[in-house]
Amino acid sequence: MDMDQADMDKYPAHFIQRVLEYGNMDDWRLLRSYYGLPKIVEECKKLRTLDPVCLSYICAISHTQPEEYRCFHTRQSNPTPWNF
């Protein structure tokens, strides 16, 4: 990614997904302070793909159900062996 083109306000879903899947707790704290939990949940509900562990985490901290998320309904029909 070209860091000159990185805009957290223009592409929130991209940053949220990357931090959830690859970030550490410091990254998560920064993301949460920048967007706030309601905005993060709103963007996560629109994501096509999200790691099952990340989905469980976001559901647990926001007290929502996995069925509310698009990625829950659009899972791969043949999951990879490490994502059971």
DSSP 42: H
pTM of structure: 0.79
CA dist 21 and 63 (Å) reads: 19
Overall size of the chain counted in residues? 84
Least confident residue range of 28-32, 65-69, 70-74: 70-74
pLDDT confidence of residue 15: 92
> What are the pLDDT digits (tens) for 11-51?
899 999 999 999 999 999 999 999 999 999 999 999 999 98
